[in-house]
């Protein structure tokens, strides 16, 4: 039989009743559920074991720490998360998601925050340069003469089975980028340089 806990400290009891354990002053209580809804994973179940950071290829090469982002999400630290340039250092390799003992998907937590950041116009210019490449060619990194020569040397056709070979599909890609406003965002931000 369960019994009610009595902490004899009203403030502590109130805080412990909040499953997100947010600091009261600088947190946004809507941030964690918003990120979870987009990511489709229950970030608040993170118990900060650090397996994700220990597996992350970006961690030894930068200050980026996925465990730290998970904690900040759960504290509702919207502005800190969205304005941290490290948000864009995840390679989306999904190793952390493969290894998380809580079966969470930290990669998608990062992707969700990137989506929210981009909607608020917070996005690195080099990411938008990639958008421009995709809009023009269907590729973030377009094919080049050096790459074509390397492909031929390996016995491959110079153009891969993508928009490189079938440029007639580029307008469909352009339409997707226009419908989601990605192209307009790239034009606006890059035009302000």
Chain positions contacting ligand SF4, by CB under 6 A: 46-52, 55-58, 66-67, 70, 90-96, 100-102, 104, 106-107
Determine if residue 142 is left, alpha or beta; phi over 0 gives left, psi from -120 to 50 gives alpha, anything else beta.
beta
Nearer to ligand SF4 by Cβ, of 47 and 192: the residue is 47
**Whose CA is closest to 173, among 144, 148, 145, 140?**
140
The secondary structure of 66-101, three-state, reads HHHHHHHHHCCCHHHHHHCHHHHCCCCCCHHHHHCC
Residue closest to 95 by CA, chosen among 85, 105, 81: 105
Helix 182-191 vs helix 125-137: crossing angle, to nearest 10: 130
Q: Pick between residue 96 and residue 186 the one whose CB is nearest to ligand SF4.
A: 96
- Nearest distance from C-beta of residue 98 to ligand SF4, angstroms: 9
State the minimum distance, in angstroms, from the CB of residue 21 to ligand SF4: 14
| 32 or 163: CB nearest ligand SF4 | 32
Nearer to ligand SF4 among residue 57 and residue 167 (C-beta):
57
Separation between Cα atoms, residue 170 and residue 176, nearest integer Å: 10
How far apart are CB 1 and ligand SF4 at their closest, in Å? 31
Residue in the structure block whose two tokens are 């952390």: 96
Minimum CB separation of residue 164 from ligand SF4 in Å reads: 27
Q: Which is nearer to ligand SF4, 106 or 138 (CB)?
A: 106
Shortest CB 46 distance to ligand SF4, Å:
3
What residue has token string 């491959």? 156
């Amino acid at each position: 039989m369960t019994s009610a806990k009595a902490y004899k400290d009203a403030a502590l009891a109130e805080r412990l009743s909040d499953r997100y354990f947010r600091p009261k002053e600088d947190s946004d209580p809507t941030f964690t559920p918003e990120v979870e809804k987009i990511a489709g994973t229950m970030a608040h179940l993170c118990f900060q074991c650090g397996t994700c950071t220990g597996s992350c290829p970006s961690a030894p090469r930068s200050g980026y720490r996925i465990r730290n982002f998970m904690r900040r999400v759960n504290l509702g630290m919207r502005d800190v998360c969205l304005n941290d340039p490290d948000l864009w250092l995840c390679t989306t390799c999904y190793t952390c998601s493969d290894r998380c003992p809580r079966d969470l998907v930290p990669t998608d937590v990062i992707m969700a925050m990137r989506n929210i950041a981009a909607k608020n116009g917070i996005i690195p210019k080099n990411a938008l340069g990639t958008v421009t490449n995709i809009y023009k060619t269907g590729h973030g990194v377009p094919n080049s003469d050096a790459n074509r020569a390397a492909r031929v040397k390996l016995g491959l056709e110079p153009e891969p089975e993508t928009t490189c070979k079938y440029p007639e599909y580029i307008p469909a890609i352009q339409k997707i980028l226009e419908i989601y406003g990605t192209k307009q965002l790239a034009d606006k931000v890059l035009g302000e340089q």
